[in-house]
Structure 1
Amino acid sequence: MIRRTLIAAAFAAAALPAIAQDAPWPNRPITIMGGFPNGAGTDIYARRLAEPLSRALGVPVVVDNRSGAGGNIASEYVSKQPADGYLFMFGTAGTHAINAALYRRLPFNVTRDFTPVVLLGDVPNVMLVNPEKRPNLQTCQDVLAAARARPQAITYASTGNGASTHLAGAQFATAANLQLLHVPYRGQPGAIASLLAGDTDVFFNQTGPSMGPIQQGQVRALAVLSRERLPALPNVPTVAEACGLPPMDTSTWYGLLAPANLPAPILQRMNAEVNRIISTPEFRTWLIENQAITPPAAPNSPEQFRETLAADIARWAEVVRVSGATVD
């Protein structure tokens, strides 16, 4: 009798891992990893998304940022993790399109090693100056005149070599036939701090993290680097309007990705839940009016995101080539 009991207990113990593995997804906390510091546009969006997503999935959704190397540190980490539905990456056109063109060697493949899950929106850039530290730069034409009078005397901050904020400035300089001096920082906090301190003259920043300083009067928005004015900044002209340059669009995207080969049921569930959340009137209003982000058009499938990624890799490779931007 004792022997039978022991045998039964042994079989029950051996079956436990199988039972745990067969438990419905999700049954433990989910992590969304970002590649940029706290306070970056990706961090702001990820934390806003995490709360309703946690309610929808019934488990905690936490945001973990591993910044560095233009997002490559986070990308490499995520690319090497199991595709079990408990780790996702808050990716950008920078991490998964621009970096593919800028870096000759990456320890991961931006297409092969990831599963595109859902597109989260298009993010334009806005040209910022500090009205207190640079009272002579009241308009985009003032910036053009100052830069033409003294080549490389006008500096522009960025969130890092190869970041979209770097390439936006490089595109602007190429379009205007200017020589601007690029000053890279490690992430959003350092770049915006340099502008506020007067250490740099201009910052071609993403709209999301720019809205607070703009609304508080800490910075002045001279132009948006998009083809049309933005609903969140209706009084800020486009580059074509303010600078007399050809229409320019430096918009990038935010998107949720997972390690390669994410199981189809998890992929479909996550795509559906995120689409539902970002399509609600409350979330759309926050995106459009608070962050100046354009929500993706519905339906927003993984296949469409994969097509966007492929097209953007080709697009940014050309931008990098024309601008001559490099990473140190």
Structure 2
Amino acid sequence: MALFCVPAISQDANWPSQPISFVSGFPGGAATDIYARKLGSELTPILNTSFISDNRTGAGGNIASNIVAQAKPDGYTFLLGTAGTHAINPALYKKLPFDPVKDFTHIALLGNLPNVLLVNPEKHPDIKTCKDLLALAKKKPGELNYASTGNGASGHLAAVQFGGASQTRYTHVPYRGQGPAMTALLSGEVDFFFNQSSPSIPVVQSGKARALAVTSSQRIAALPNVPTAAEACDLAGFESTTWYGLFGPAALPATIQTKMSQAVLKTIQTDSFRAWLVSQGIAPIEDGSPAAFKKVHEADLVRWAKIVKESGAQVD
């Protein structure tokens, strides 16, 4: 038996000895792709290997997740997952080809992402604050519409939470991704858009869109003058954030899980990386360990299931 164990032990000890793939379920240039490339470049000198950003789009990230769930647990295939792929999709889809917890190994929690409530200042020059938007919505119940990046996306669910908390009604207009949804806002097709912070920052800074609020519990440094929804909309306790996290396939050897987790956490906790996260509108994590990540993940499965049910969203 000892002789049979020697090759496995040797392989783990020599890890990594070849390039590592970071799989994500969204296209090149998406926030997950940008994060994967940034993280890989920072890990290269630490682990002395190269990293490949492998974008496998489709089914709201489920295709990429399933690829990693079925991957050989040798430490060369990881998933840059999100709360969407691993906490929202399980409630959104009737059946997934993988178990969001049992088929993965938690490596590290990578950051929290708020949404930003955006309006088009040309279409709505009189809406300068969140309270202005709410006042108009109460005058015209159900008449205002909003964009999302798809049914069950974080922006859709943030708007559902927003409507429930403020007792206002809106019409949902889903689009196929961030680009078309942003185009709809900027062209005046829709009245507002809850969009993730990273792609929202440049359009706000350019003046093309007006930010009324962020959905985190605290303001974000990249948009310091934009209040939280709790502040701006008078919605005490309102919060709607998602996260990025790194997963490996199930049965990943503990030695590899530990080595990768330690390398990732060492990287994302440096001052320079934290500054980059802040510039992207991503809130750094204080405890991103595998145990803390798994705890957040399991709690979010329950939390998002309730919100999805309230929204009535369903993909299939």
Question: Is TM-score (shorter-chain normalized) higher than 0.5?
Answer: yes
Residue of structure 2 in register with 1:293 after alignment = 282
Q: How many Å separate the matches in 1 of 2:131 and 2:293?
A: 38
Q: How many Å separate the matches in 1 of 2:29 and 2:236?
A: 32
Please identify, of 275-284 and 313-322, the stretch whose mean Cα deviation from structure 2 is larger.
Answer: 313-322
Residue of structure 2 in register with 1:308 after alignment = 296
1:108 maps onto 2:125 in alignment = no
Q: How many residues end up aligned between the 2 structures? A: 310
CA drift at 1:22: 7.4
CA drift at 1:117: 0.6
Change (3 A) 1:176 1:122: same
Q: How many Å separate the matches in 1 of 2:45 and 2:188?
A: 43
Unaligned runs of 5+ in 1: 1-16
Residue of structure 2 in register with 1:201 after alignment = 191
Residue of structure 2 in register with 1:155 after alignment = 145
Post-superposition, which runs of at least 4 consecutive aligned residues in structure 1 deviate over 6 A? Answer: none
Letter of the 1:294 partner, please give it: A
CA drift at 1:41: 2.2
Residue of structure 1 in register with 2:4 after alignment = none
Q: How many Å separate the matches in 2 of 1:291 and 1:233?
A: 10
CA contact (8 A) 2:12 2:255 kept: no
Q: How does 1:1-328 map to 2 (within 5 A)?
A: 24-288=14-278, 290-298=279-287, 300-327=288-315
TM-score relative to the length of structure 2: 0.91
Q: Deviations 1:189-220 (Å, cap 9, x if unpaired)?
A: 22222222222221111112211111122211
Q: CA RMSD in A?
A: 2.1
* Higher gyration radius (CA): 1
Letter of the 1:179 partner, please give it: R
TM-score relative to the length of structure 1: 0.88
Q: How many Å separate the matches in 1 of 2:236 and 2:29?
A: 32
CA contact (8 A) 1:39 1:189 kept: no
- Could you tell me the percent identity over the aligned residues? 54
CA contact (8 A) 2:82 2:245 kept: yes
CA contact (8 A) 1:36 1:187 kept: no
Q: How many Å separate the matches in 2 of 1:319 and 1:35?
A: 22
CA contact (8 A) 2:78 2:246 kept: yes
Unaligned runs of 5+ in 2: 1-6
CA contact (8 A) 1:68 1:186 kept: no
CA drift at 1:319: 1.9
Q: How many Å separate the matches in 1 of 2:50 and 2:180?
A: 30
